[in-house]
Amino acid sequence: MKILDVTKSLCPYCFKRIDADIVEDNGKIYMDKTCSDHGKVRVLIWSDASTYQEWGKYSEHAPRNEGGHPTEKECPYDCGYCNEHRGSTCTSVIEVTKRCNMNCSVCFASANAIGDNLSLSKIQEMIDYVAETQGFCSLQISGGEPTLRDDLPEIVSYAKKIGFKHVQVNSNGIRLASDLAYVKSLADAGTDLIYLGFDGIDDGIYEKIRNRKMIDVKKGCIGNCEKAGIGVMLVPVIIKEENDDQIGKIVKFAKAHMPTVKGIHFQPASTFGRYEMTENHENRYTIPDLIHDLETQTDREIIADYIVPRKKKSPYCSFSSTYYLNFDNNLVALTRRDGNISLKVPVMSNSKMEKFARNTNNFTEKYWKQNSVEASNKDSELATFSKRLRTYSLSISAMPFQDVWNIDINRVKGCCVSVIHESLTTIPLCLNYLTDTKGRRLYEEGVCCYESNK
């Protein structure tokens, strides 16, 4: 066993801040930590030790966020943000409702049918707060199920009017599949992307994970988005030995539904909310598992060399890759880890909040928005290729959220995805939904509950 790094983490039983080691053992990477009250914990965080240190070379440390408030209790108990947070926000999430028309067994928000809606004026205040404190980053309207609100187009329209370039709606697709007029109203309001839950192409998968058949709903949603001119991002939650055999099928489905489908954002399951993982953490689905499955299940149409680790603070939080679909129906990489491919995605800057948000928006505008450009017979070969490239691009990315078992405080400090609360506080997404072994949350409505949970 070899210790590669030291950090801070939390006890999964009591939320106490404790020391943690990142260790290599038997070809895998683990987090080892010990609580004085609850004993030792070991959790798998990276299933292929041979790639772990290579990915570590891509880390870019951002400066401290001078705009945060002073710390009193130390990270992670001072969020809102505190001044220990580093880096800028790439995506802000606003939950406009706690209501939902499903009851999924995997739901980190623990949404239900009787949740509350925020008032339109409060949501507008929260959107203003994001603009003032985090710039015009990407904005995700979420829930619950936000399409249960009839005034959702008004929310999107307000965000676009004050200057947000990219506004996406997180949805299960039920209303979007059955109400074309509503989808068109979202398009008219300026919605750039539907962030669509999509766990596979087999209804048996949805019956296990979402408690109902859903594939016809997903297809109907995509069809209506095509008619309305809104792009769709497929968002699969991947659970080992449940739907990890669906990776290649999801890529094939995405190709068949381009250019409406603009990408796939894989989310390996974490222990949040209603999803309970067994304490056998050897069974975790990690980034190397996903890359392996992408390679093997697509017959190496997608390979590891095309996949770029996140460069914002921690490369272990996520990856991204971008492709275009050529005229032979093959995905051609526009990204490569060594940077040798000339057609590259914009380089993200860590220097200033405005520049970071602008670069992020440029990427989403170019690759995620539904901008279909048809080639004509008069086009030159180069012009035809250029239009194909603009229209038939596909982003493949992943972000396995941290949970109470594997949370690394150093990574939390660099988180660029945040949830905005009614109280006008900003909580990193992983902390926002963090629950202990008894289902108690570390943060409730933007307020730390650590003392009350003791």
| DSSP letter for each residue of 170-207 | EE-SHHHHH-HHHHHHHHHHT--EEEEE---S-HHHHH
DSSP letter string over 37-65? TTEEEEEEEES-HHHHHHHHTT-BPPPB-
By the 10 Å C-beta count (0-12 exposed, 13-18 middle, 19+ buried), 24 is classed as: middle
- CATH fold group of domain 91-398: TIM Barrel (3.20.20)
Structure-block tokens of residue 338: 């060594």
pLDDT for res 85: 84
Residues 6+ apart with CB under 8 A from 228: 180, 183, 184, 186, 187
Instruction: Supply φ then ψ for residue 81, to 5 degrees.
Output: -75, 160
pLDDT at 270: 86
Per-residue DSSP letter, 342: S
203: which 2 tokens? Answer: 């209804």
- Extract the runs of DSSP E, i.e. beta strands, from 96-227: 138-142, 167-171, 193-197
Boundaries of every domain in the chain: 91-398
Which pLDDT value is given to residue 47? 95
Convert 156-165 to b/e letters by CB count within 10 Å (16 or more is b). Answer: bbbbbeeebb
CA gap 307, 304 in Å, rounded: 5
Q: Which of 330, 327, 224, 245 is nearest to 289 (CA)?
A: 245
pLDDT of residue 15: 95
pLDDT of residue 7: 96
* The model's pTM: 0.89
Would you write out the chain's pLDDT as a tens digit for each of its 454 residues?
Answer: 899 999 999 999 999 999 999 999 999 999 999 999 999 999 999 999 999 988 887 766 555 556 677 888 889 999 988 888 876 788 999 999 999 999 888 887 766 667 788 999 999 999 999 999 888 999 999 999 999 999 999 999 999 999 999 999 999 999 999 999 999 999 999 999 999 999 999 999 999 999 999 999 999 999 999 999 999 999 999 999 899 999 999 999 999 999 999 999 999 988 876 666 555 678 899 999 999 999 999 999 999 999 998 776 688 889 999 999 998 999 999 988 876 554 433 333 333 444 444 554 555 555 556 665 555 555 556 666 777 787 899 999 999 999 999 999 988 988 889 999 999 999 999 899 999 988 889 999 899 998 766 6
pLDDT value at position 63? 55
Give the pLDDT of residue 347: 36
Residue 300, CA atoms < 13 Å, CB-side half-sphere: 1
Strand partners, 420: 94, 426
SS3 372: coil
DSSP structure string for 230-281: -EEEEE-EE-TTTTGGGHHHHHHHHHHTTTTEEEEEEEE--SBTT----S-G
Q: What is the pLDDT of residue 370?
A: 61
